[in-house]
């Protein structure tokens, strides 16, 4: 089955790395005590940290930032992650970095054959995209309400987010998933997580894509 890459919808987290932003925020604001924080992460150069993030087996970046041997803190990683996002999201995205996908969007615009649109969850995300490239199209919506009929291909960082899209519209699309370890099925590394694959792969074409250029 062939898929024409024409109008593409790209999740905000594919072009802006909020994992890096969260780490920077934690380091700058005293959330990095050695009693619970992974020192190997704290001292990594950015390019090495990106590789660690790529190879983690859980989407929540706190699973990498926190020490697993501190069960009291590690067991709270989902609750704490949501608190950081709910309370400090503007600061986190301001400290985040562009991925290579952002640059690819600019190349697509210049070529004129592919029209990328960034899916933003809120006005803060949209303003950040506009501050970096005011000509890059955006749409503010949650996953459940977005009109997928306008798009030929969908790009997401976390494959489980695909299950939040309207299932009746997620049909005969090109599905591009960030090449993070947590998106791969544990028994077949060529596939996205099986419970997601069973829902979307029958009528869709999917591929893994790395959101950074290789050094």
Tell me: do 51 and 149 sit in the same domain. Answer: no
**Residue 1 domain-assigned (yes or no):** no
Residue with the bigger pLDDT between 133 and 198: it is: 133
Q: Are residues 119 and 106 in the same domain?
A: yes
Provide the number of structural domains found in the chain.
2
Q: Is residue 148 part of a domain?
A: yes
- Do 106 and 11 fall within a single domain? yes
In a domain, 215, yes or no: no
Helix (H) or strand (E) holding 207: strand 205-209
- Considering the domain architecture, whether residues 110 and 200 belong to the same structural domain is answered as yes
Residue 190 has pLDDT above 90, yes or no: no
| Domain's final residue, options 96, 121, 149 | 96
Is the per-residue pLDDT at 104 higher than 90? Answer: yes
147 domain-assigned:
yes
pLDDT at 4: 53
What residues make up the domain containing 85? 17-96
Q: Are 148 and 170 in contact (CB under 8 A)?
A: yes
Q: Are both 85 and 127 inside the same structural domain?
A: no
Find the mean pLDDT for residues 46-63. Answer: 94
Q: Is 145 exposed, middle or buried (0-12, 13-18, 19+ CB in 10 A)?
A: exposed
Q: Identify the domain boundary among 80, 96, 112.
A: 96
Name which residue leads in pLDDT, 12 or 192.
Answer: 12
pLDDT digit string, tens, across residues 144-181: 999 999 999 999 999 999 999 987 888 888 999 999 99
pLDDT over 80 at 201, yes or no: no
Question: Cα separation of 130 and 81, whole Å?
Answer: 26
Evaluate whether residue 126 is within a structural domain.
Answer: yes
22 shares its domain with 124: no
Q: Per-residue pLDDT for 50 more than 60? A: yes
Do 74 and 153 have their domain in common? no
Is 214 part of any domain? no
Is residue 2 domain-resident?
Answer: no
28 and 65 share a domain? Answer: yes
- Domain final residue, candidates 38, 61, 96: 96
- Flag whether 68 is in a domain: yes
> Which CATH number do you get for residue 190?
3.40.50.720
> Are 81 and 156 part of one and the same domain?
no
């Amino acid at each position: 089955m062939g898929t024409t890459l024409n109008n593409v919808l790209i999740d905000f987290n594919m072009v802006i790395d909020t994992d890096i932003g969260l780490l920077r925020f934690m380091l700058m604001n005293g959330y990095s005590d050695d009693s619970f924080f992974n020192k190997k992460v704290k001292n990594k150069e950015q390019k090495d940290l990106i590789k660690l993030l790529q190879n983690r087996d859980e989407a929540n970046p706190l699973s990498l930032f926190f020490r697993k041997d501190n069960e009291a803190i590690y067991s709270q990683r989902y609750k704490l992650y949501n608190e950081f996002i709910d309370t400090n999201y503007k600061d986190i995205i301001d400290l985040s970095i562009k991925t290579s996908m952002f640059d690819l969007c600019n190349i697509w615009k210049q070529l004129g054959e592919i029209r990328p649109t960034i899916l933003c969850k809120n006005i803060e995300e949209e303003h950040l995209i506009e501050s970096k490239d005011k000509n890059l199209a955006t749409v503010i919506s949650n996953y459940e309400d977005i009109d997928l009929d306008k798009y030929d291909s969908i790009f997401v960082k976390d494959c489980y987010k695909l299950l939040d899209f309207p299932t009746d519209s997620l049909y005969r699309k090109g599905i591009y998933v960030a090449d993070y370890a947590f998106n791969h099925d544990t028994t077949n590394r060529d596939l996205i997580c099986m419970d997601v694959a069973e829902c979307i792969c029958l009528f869709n074409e999917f591929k893994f894509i790395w959101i950074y250029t290789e050094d």
